[in-house]
Amino acid sequence: MSSKKSITLSELAKKLNAKLIGDPEFQVNGIKTLKEANQDEVSFLSRRQYTKQLDSTKAGGVIISETDKDLAKGNLIVGKDAYLFYAKATQVFKEINQEQQQQGISKLADISSSARITPKQPSALSVKFRIMLKLETM
């Protein structure tokens, strides 16, 4: 099971303000190159020199420019500038995966029964800094 959070292609296309051709409910959880992407990831074609990789990619969807959309098949996220949409998509995946991260103690942690959690005490340096700030405002 993947630890990454998924997003549907329709949600991704909407966030990118792009057009989707294909399955709107298809789930993806990351972005990689045409060569490296798996079925649960999207990829992108920003240079025509990589069009041969379109035939062999395992990507679940491809971000592609309007002018190149006829070169690809399958799930496509189509926009004016594929490279710009790639950059925006990386931000989308970064944001959704940051939302998923939770603070706390890992389920895999081995904690002694005698361990105690106490509030963090300010360091001597931070106390000294706060005193200096107070003196400056007087």
Beta bridge partners of 20: 77
pLDDT tens string 43-59: 999 888 888 999 999 99
Q: How many domains does the chain have?
A: 1
CATH number of the domain residue 47 falls in: 3.40.1390.10
Residue 100 has pLDDT above 70, yes or no: no
Instruction: For residue 21, tell me if it sits in a domain.
Output: yes
Instruction: For residue 115, tell me if it sits in a domain.
Output: no
Q: Could you give the CA distance from residue 97 to residue 80 in angstroms, rounded to a whole number?
A: 26
Of 59, 25, 53, 56, residue with least CA distance to 39: 59
Domain that holds residue 83: 7-100
In the chain, the amino acid numbered 130 is R
Instruction: For residue 125, tell me if it sits in a domain.
Output: no
Instruction: For residue 62, tell me if it sits in a domain.
Output: yes
Long-range interactions of 106-109: CB distance < 8 A, separation 24+: none
Instruction: For residue 129, tell me if it sits in a domain.
Output: no
Alpha helix positions (H), 17-123 = 52-56, 82-100
- Highest mean pLDDT: which of 11-20, 102-111, 122-131? 11-20
